[in-house]
Amino acid sequence: MHHPTKSNSELLLPVYFRITVAGKRAEISTGELTIIGNWHQAKGRVKGTGEKAQMEYMLLSEMIFVIMTYFTLWLANEHEGAGK
């Protein structure tokens, strides 16, 4: 989560994933915006029980699942290649 910018007058902030692999860090935009008050900084998740919060939470959870699936496949490929 980044700090508000002048263009985010309604306190909507972009949501990013921060991924670190082999000591290299990358930030990937989800293309989603969330209201700063709906973000739980410590958990790195959307908070709240309203319909919008639940939809944001589900969408981000699906994105995390896809990223973790690709990462697991990448690790398996790297491990398999190391044995050759």
φ and ψ at residue 12, rounded to 5 degrees: -90, 130
What local confidence, expressed as pLDDT, does residue 75 receive?
A: 87
Residue 37 inside a domain? The answer is yes
- Kindly report, residue by residue over 33-82, the tens digit of the pLDDT: 888 888 888 888 888 888 988 898 899 999 999 989 998 998 898 877 66
- Residue 70: inside a domain: yes
6 inside domain: no
pLDDT recorded at residue 7: 47
Domain coverage including residue 56: 12-82
DSSP label at 49?
A: S
Identify whether the C-beta of residue 60 lies closer than 8 Å to the C-beta of residue 48: no
pLDDT score at 82: 63
How many separate domains does the chain show?
Answer: 1
Give domain status of residue 29, yes or no: yes
Identify the pLDDT of residue 11: 83
- Distances, alpha carbon 73 to alpha carbons 62, 68, 78, in Å: 17, 9, 9
Name the residue among 19, 26, 15 with its Cα closest to residue 56.
Answer: 15
5 in any annotated domain: no
